[in-house]
């Protein structure tokens, strides 16, 4: 089993975490891991979206050209 530690939260927050975890069939740790994982995924997708928007029209034009080649390719 992985090493564990404690974090200080209010009793009310602890109960909320435990309630949401139980509703999903998870431990409090599993629930928190899922929450943090979801947050990190959201942040990664947002960063990708910002990078894509900042890439400019040259990049989008080039990828559109490649998309056209793929759909025109026989086979």
Give the max Cα distance, the chain.
64
Share of the chain above pLDDT 90, in %: 60
SS (H, E, C) the chain: CCCCCCCCCCHHHHHHHHHHHHHCCCCHHHHHHHHHHHHHHHHHHHHHHHHHHHCHHHHHHHHHHHHHHHHHCCC
Per-residue pLDDT reduced to its tens digit, 34-70? 999 999 999 999 999 898 888 878 887 888 877 777 6
């Amino acid at each position: 089993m992985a090493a564990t530690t404690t974090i200080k939260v209010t009793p009310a927050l602890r109960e909320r975490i435990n309630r949401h975890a139980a509703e999903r069939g998870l431990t409090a740790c599993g629930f928190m891991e899922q929450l943090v994982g979801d947050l990190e995924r959201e942040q990664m997708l947002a960063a990708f979206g910002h990078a894509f928007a900042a890439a400019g029209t040259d990049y989008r034009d080039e990828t559109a050209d490649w998309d056209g080649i793929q759909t025109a390719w026989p086979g």
